[in-house]
């Protein structure tokens, strides 16, 4: 995003009941099931969901007692937790298929450590990390508030709070903010579409949703009443996988930075941490967030690239977008290379990624979340490098 002038920027979010997020949740449930049994299991799981049907496919390497029946049951429990027990999509009677098979030996030989060879990247690719000063979590504001609105609606629905009575799991939001000289100053429009029970009118739904928008946006940021769109198509009773097919990895911009930063193209859910699509994107966010938290810049984009089977990154690149505070980006590459081992093994070990920690990432974004030391989740959101970065640059 630009640092000068006035402009509008928009990001969207989707709830855990959106069909693509249902697919992501099931894929990450499969991953966590394997990692709980074997921290070094290999998983690349894709899921398709549609009207009363769940199809799981992909490649794995792990304990033999992780059976198809066990994984199909875990998928049902994931759907149950999301809240789907509807005629068109129910955890009770959806038809579940599991087509997971053994990981390719040709991929495995490139990834596995052997002799003097370190563990290689699970695929080639480019990954990006980003951080900025727009929110306390150092995330782009349009995405931050899009997530926040839906997360608060979801929490109320799950707690059976009267403030969300009649609202169902599938929902989307979209927030447009006005920027002046690179800083967000208010919302110009907000869109929320949420599935609801039969018999509710558009006005009924809007009356429920409006308070969630008001309490999520900062004081003075509400757009005019005619720029708040709640269920603009009217009735939204048929939703979730019954209303639209869902696939793993189809919401990568929602998962990352809402379009405010580049994306390498690889999805996250269902992939174990040897897949640098996931682990290196987490590492890049970790580094970028620490650069901003250390006060070295107000915005930071990091790119890192890999080749399949090769441990060492092929390139590391920083762009501080002209906001660096007397920081040389070439020196920053060297400092980060000394502080963080960006090989697949180094990332896994530094961020403790070989654990069943991935289900919570499957909705409301992989970044800008609160690390939980007890559960071991969102370790890449820590700012424990900030002090060392300050010292390296004489701060």
CATH code at 188? 3.30.300.10
On the question of pLDDT at 140 being above 70, the answer is: yes
Q: Are 276 and 120 in contact (CB under 8 A)?
A: no
- pLDDT at position 104, please? 61
172 is known to lie in a ligand binding site: yes
Residues 147 and 220 in one domain: yes
117 annotated to a ligand binding site: no
pLDDT 10s digits, 38-54 = 999 999 999 999 999 99
Is position 257 within any domain?
A: no
Average pLDDT over residues 349-369: 97
- 265 — pLDDT class (breaks 50, 70, 90): confident
- Please state whether beta strands 42-50 and 315-319 pair in parallel, antiparallel, or not at all (unpaired): unpaired
pLDDT, tens digit, for every residue of 272-319?
A: 999 999 999 999 999 999 999 999 999 999 999 999 888 899 999 999
Runs of H (alpha helix) within the chain: 19-37, 68-82, 105-111, 141-158, 202-216, 240-243, 252-255, 276-293, 329-339, 344-351, 386-392
Q: Mark whether 166 and 209 lie in a shared domain.
A: yes
Q: Are 305 and 355 in the same domain?
A: yes
pLDDT at 158: 96
Question: Known binder of ligand: residue 99?
Answer: no
pLDDT of residue 105: 55
Does the annotation list 94 as a binding residue?
no
The angle, 0 to 180 degrees and rounded to 10, between the axes of the packed helices 68-82 and 19-37 is: 130
Q: Tell whether 201 and 281 lie within a shared domain.
A: no
Q: Would residue 109 count as lying in a domain?
A: no
Does 267 carry a binding-site annotation? yes
Last residue of a domain, one of 195, 221, 239: 239
d(C-alpha 184, C-alpha 55), whole Å: 42
In a domain, 359, yes or no: yes
Q: What is the mean pLDDT of residues 124-153?
A: 97
Is 375 labelled as part of a ligand binding site?
no
Higher pLDDT residue, 108 or 77?
Answer: 77
| pLDDT per residue as tens digits for the range 84-106 | 999 999 999 999 999 999 876 55
The secondary structure of residue 299, as a DSSP letter, is E
Residues 217 and 298 reside in one and the same domain:
no
231 HSE (CA, 13 A, CB side): 24
- pLDDT of amino acid 309: 84
The whole-angstrom separation of Cα 350 and Cα 347 is 5
Q: 284 and 218 in one domain? A: no
Is 265 part of a structural domain of the chain? no
pLDDT on residue 110: 53
Q: Are residues 129 and 154 in the same domain?
A: no
End residue of a domain, out of 213, 239, 265: 239
Please indicate if the annotation marks 137 as binding a ligand. no
Number of domains in the chain: 2
Indicate the SS3 state at residue 305.
strand
- Mean per-residue pLDDT, 55-63: 96
Distinct helix (H) and strand (E) counts, the chain = 11, 11
Residues in the chain: 395
Q: What percent of the chain shows pLDDT beyond 90?
A: 91
The C-alpha atoms of residue 82 and residue 91 are separated, in whole angstroms, by 9
Is residue 317 included in any domain, yes or no? yes
Nearby residues of 235 by Cβ (< 8 Å), 6 or more positions away: 202
Q: Count of CB atoms within 10 A of residue 6's CB? A: 10
Is 385 part of any domain? yes
Average pLDDT of the residues in 387-391 = 96
Shared domain for 284 and 354, answered yes or no, is yes
Percentage, residues of the chain above pLDDT 70: 96
Residues 129 and 164 in one domain: no
Q: Would strands 228-230 and 183-196 be described as parallel, antiparallel, or unpaired?
A: parallel
Q: Is 334 annotated as a binding residue?
A: no
Round the average pLDDT of the chain to a whole number and report it: 94
- For 199-258, the pLDDT digits (tens) are 999 999 999 999 999 999 999 999 999 999 999 999 999 999 999 999 999 999 999 999
46 marked as part of a ligand binding site: yes
* Within-domain flag for 33: no
311 labeled binding residue: no
Residue 113 pLDDT > 60:
no
User: Known binder of ligand: residue 108?
Assistant: no
What is the reported pLDDT for 117?
46
Do residues 177 and 198 share a domain?
yes
Q: Given 211, 239, 267, which residue is the final one in a domain?
A: 239
Would residue 374 count as lying in a domain? yes
Q: Is the pLDDT of residue 116 over 50?
A: no
The answer, yes or no, to whether residue 112 has pLDDT greater than 60, is no
Same domain (yes/no): 146, 209: yes
Q: Is 331 annotated as a binding residue?
A: no
The whole-number average pLDDT for the span 169-196 is 97
pLDDT higher than threshold 60 for residue 162: yes
Residue 189: domain span: 6-13+140-239
Asked if 348 and 370 sit in the same domain, the reply is yes
- The answer to whether 170 is annotated as binding is yes
Question: Does residue 59 have a known ligand-binding role?
Answer: yes
Q: Is the pLDDT at 107 greater than 70, yes or no?
A: no
């Amino acid at each position: 995003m630009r640092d000068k002038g006035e402009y509008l920027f928009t990001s969207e979010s989707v709830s855990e009941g959106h069909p693509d997020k249902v697919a992501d949740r099931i894929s990450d449930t499969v991953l966590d099931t394997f990692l709980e049994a074997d921290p070094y299991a290999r998983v690349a799981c894709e899921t398709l969901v549609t009207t009363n049907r769940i199809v799981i496919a992909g490649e794995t390497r792990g304990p033999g007692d992780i059976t198809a029946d066990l994984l199909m049951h875990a998928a049902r429990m994931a759907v149950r937790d999301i809240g789907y027990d509807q005629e068109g999509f129910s955890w009770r009677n959806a038809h579940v298929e599991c087509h997971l098979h053994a990981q390719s030996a040709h991929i495995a030989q490139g990834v596995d450590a052997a002799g003097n060879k370190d563990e290689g990247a699970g695929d080639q690719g480019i990954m990006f990390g980003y951080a900025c000063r727009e929110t306390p979590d150092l995330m782009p504001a349009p995405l931050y508030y899009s997530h926040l609105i839906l997360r608060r609606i979801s929490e109320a629905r799950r707690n059976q709070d009267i403030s969300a009575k009649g609202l169902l799991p599938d929902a989307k939001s979209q927030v447009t903010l006005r920027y002046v000289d690179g800083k967000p100053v208010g919302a110009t429009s907000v869109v929320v579409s949420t599935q609801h029970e039969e018999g509710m009118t558009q006005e009924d739904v809007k009356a429920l949703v409006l308070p969630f928008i008001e309490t999520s946006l900062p004081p003075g940021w509400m757009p005019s009443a005619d720029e708040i769109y709640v269920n603009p198509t009217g009735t939204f009773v048929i939703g979730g996988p019954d209303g639209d097919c869902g696939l793993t990895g189809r919401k990568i911009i929602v998962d990352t930075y809402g379009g405010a930063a580049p994306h390498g193209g690889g999805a996250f859910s269902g992939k174990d941490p040897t897949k640098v699509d996931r682990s290196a994107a987490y590492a890049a966010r970790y580094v970028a967030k620490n650069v901003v938290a250390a006060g070295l810049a107000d915005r930071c984009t990091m790119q890192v690239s890999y080749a399949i089977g090769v441990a060492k990154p092929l390139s590391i690149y920083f762009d501080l977008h002209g906001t660096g505070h007397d920081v040389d980006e070439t020196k920053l590459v060297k400092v980060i290379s000394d502080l963080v081992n960006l090989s697949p093994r180094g990332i896994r070990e530094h961020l403790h990624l070989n654990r069943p920690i991935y289900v919570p990432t499957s909705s409301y974004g992989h970044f800008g979340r609160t690390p939980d030391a007890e559960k071991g989740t969102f370790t890449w959101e820590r700012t424990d490098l900030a002090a060392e970065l300050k010292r390296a640059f004489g701060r």
